[in-house]
Structure 1
Amino acid sequence: MMTTRRNFIKKTGLGLAGAYLGSSLLQACTGSIPKGQGPFGNIGLQIYSLRDLLFQDPKLTLQTVAKIGYGHIETFGMDLTSNTFWGLSIPEVKKIMADVDLKTYSGHYDMSRFLSRHHTTDKENIEKYIETAHELGQTYVIAPVTPMDDLNNLKVEDYQYAAEQLNKAGEIARKAGIKIGYHNHFWEFRNFANGTKGLDIMIAFTEPDLVSFELDIYWIEKSGLSPQSYFQKYPGRFPMWHIKDMDKNYADPIVGKEYDSLPFDSIQNKVRFAEVGSGNIDYINIAQSARQAGLEYAFVEQDDIYMSNKFESVKKSYDYVQKFLVK
């Protein structure tokens, strides 16, 4: 019988991946530091950090994340057509996570068209996202990014529209006991003519009881601003943080006149990430503002991992958080 291309890939590629993952698992879990208490003690992982491994072997990847010590994950990548995550049905995801006592309180769900004032009819199915979040036991449905059509031409009106859309989603979500949130990058900190920034507009135009914000600490720092300044300005609006570090050799800001008109592709060579505690961001100081921010859940995330053993990378970040950020 002829072997199909799909079966061949499954038998060879995934078999090799499984062997690699297995050895990585053993190395990554050696000497893990026990979990502490609070948002940092019960640190989560934005599972996007391990996306390549996740799509190769989602079960083993989630098992390894739990063995390292992470108490919960933040999901991404729901396929609305098949109602799956990473090739797994939602019941399968729940079963794997339950078996290793891994929880999920938050998920990233694509809302780029829903937030775009240029898409009037082809909006994402927010109700389906809320239904899925409820089934997974999540508290937050997060919009991970603004509409990406033309980042250099986002206007005040675009941010105002996005804010109103988030309010609408928040009203729907509230009926199901779910909250809506928004996750930033760097372009939300670009200045408009009056000095206003996109994130400030979104915060000002959203209702605190309907919409929360997930502050990506890396991107606000990479914008030349301090997270503490936003915690002081908007106390209680940031119940979620993304924690990742900045390579010390790539610490210059990428927001300002020199950069704001450049396409993202031309800025990427000035961006490089690092494991938490090994870079340029003073997390010990930032963590002191957790209560002012309203922090409930913190997630390690690394957009790109450069270590050959990616499990070892997220373990390194986990161990630093446990050792230095847990009170």
Structure 2
Amino acid sequence: MIKRRDFLINTGLALGALAIAPSFAFAAKKKAIGIQLWTLRDTFPKDVKGVLAQVGKVGFNEVETFGFSPTKGFFGTSVKEFKKMLCDNDLKATSNHFDFNGYIENGNTDVIKSYTEAANILGSEYITVPYVVENLRGKTGDDYKKLALKVNKAAEICKAAGLKLAYHNHDFEFTKFGSTNGYEILLNETDKKLVDFEMDLYWVVRAGHDPLQLFKEHPGRFKMWHVKDMDKANHEFNAVIGTGTIDFKAIFAQAELSGLKRFFLEHESNYIPNPIESAAASYNYIKNNLI
């Protein structure tokens, strides 16, 4: 299984409330509610078919994948078999978290071509860079500029295959370099026509930043979101959407400014009462209160 979380402890910040005018209705009201399958990582690798059935039963319309291997597919399930399982449960894999660390380290693009082939079989729109391992993260601002060049190159390959590339953040990208930080460098140095961003709202807030301010500074760049809440007592934990510290109503009100096309619920930690039931509770809150 791909390990893409290290939960670096950083300063948490509860997002301040924003007054919402009635005219700021969520521009994507009828958009699908997606789930990042990492939420169900304890069971998904052991029972791909069963977990997808659970996801469809909750009501999710889209999934974002993880754990793909060019030789083993999705935990032993071939891409074509996986596609059929999705269709059987009225699901679509619109985005995929594929491991880009090998490419970032050695520049070999062969693996990206295998990703585009899989994504096209699934009928996906996005291939997403999910996580940069610690030894490959930028130590300087120039390192992040070099990373941006590699992201641009990968995005060109995706475009040639009829796909879009997105970059998903954690908190380490917000390491400061003088008056800027790694995330700002990536936003400024990547090609706006080629590279979109999947904003992980939890990690932005936990790193001490305001998603709404980033929307204002980089309008239209954040085509996808990860929606997960921050536990009130322990900011290292997630919470069922609507029970934590993040003001999602204020954020969803600015979906148009963000450029939002789709979003994925994700839980990384602190499952109450268990992963699928927590996901269902979050789904219901989103459906009834945010869209």
Same structural fold, with TM-score higher than 0.5 when normalized by the shorter chain: yes
Q: How big is each residue's C-alpha offset from its partner over 1:161-210, in whole Å with a ceiling of 9 and x where there is no partner? A: 11111111111111121011100000111211x22110110111111111
Is the 8 Å Cα contact of residues 148 and 186 (structure 2) preserved in structure 1?
yes
Q: How big is each residue's C-alpha offset from its partner over 1:194-247, in whole Å with a ceiling of 9 and x where there is no partner? A: 221101101111111110000000000001111001100000000000000000
Shift of 1:120: 3.3
Shift of 1:40: 6.9
Q: Does 1:247 align with 2:236?
A: no
Match of 1:189 in 2: 174
Matched residues in 2 for 1:86 and 1:289: separation? 37
Is the 8 Å Cα contact of residues 111 and 124 (structure 1) preserved in structure 2?
no
1:73 is matched with which residue: 41, 51, 63?
Answer: 63
Is the 8 Å Cα contact of residues 215 and 258 (structure 2) preserved in structure 1?
yes
Is the 8 Å Cα contact of residues 106 and 140 (structure 1) preserved in structure 2?
yes
Q: Secondary structure at the match of 2:101?
A: coil
Q: Secondary structure at the match of 1:49?
A: helix
Matched residues in 2 for 1:160 and 1:50: separation? 34
Q: Does 1:282 align with 2:267?
A: no
Shift of 1:308: 4.0
Is the 8 Å Cα contact of residues 189 and 198 (structure 1) preserved in structure 2?
yes
Matched residues in 2 for 1:295 and 1:154: separation? 31
Shift of 1:56: 2.1
2:230 alignment partner AA: M
Matched residues in 2 for 1:244 and 1:292: separation? 20
Matched residues in 2 for 1:137 and 1:158: separation? 34
Structure 2: gaps (5+ residues): 1-25
Match of 1:138 in 2: 124
Structure 1: gaps (5+ residues): 1-35, 252-270
Q: Equivalences for 1:258-297 in 2 at 5 Å?
A: 271-297=236-262
Matched residues in 2 for 1:208 and 1:121: separation? 22
2:125 alignment partner AA: T
Match of 2:77 in 1: 88
Matched residues in 1 for 2:93 and 2:28: separation? 16
Match of 1:108 in 2: 97
2:119 alignment partner AA: A
Which structure's residues are more often helix, by fraction?
1
Deviation beyond 4 Å, 4+ runs, structure 1: 121-124
Matched residues in 2 for 1:67 and 1:274: separation? 22
Distance 1:174 1:280, change over 3 A: same
Q: Equivalences for 1:1-327 in 2 at 5 Å?
A: 38=28, 41-82=31-72, 84-115=73-104, 119-120=105-106, 125-149=111-135, 151=137, 154-192=139-177, 194-251=178-235, 271-326=236-291
Distance 1:65 1:120, change over 3 A: closer
Percent identity between the two aligned chains: 38
Matched residues in 2 for 1:100 and 1:120: separation? 38
Shift of 1:106: 0.4
Shift of 1:81: 2.7
Q: Secondary structure at the match of 2:286?
A: helix
Matched residues in 1 for 2:96 and 2:195: separation? 14
Matched residues in 1 for 2:230 and 2:289: separation? 17
Shift of 1:39: 6.2
Count of matched residue pairs: 266
Q: How big is each residue's C-alpha offset from its partner over 1:63-110, in whole Å with a ceiling of 9 and x where there is no partner? A: 11011010010001111233x102211111011111111111100011
1:277 alignment partner AA: G
Q: Secondary structure at the match of 1:201?
A: helix
Q: Secondary structure at the match of 1:249?
A: coil
Matched residues in 1 for 2:261 and 2:241: separation? 19
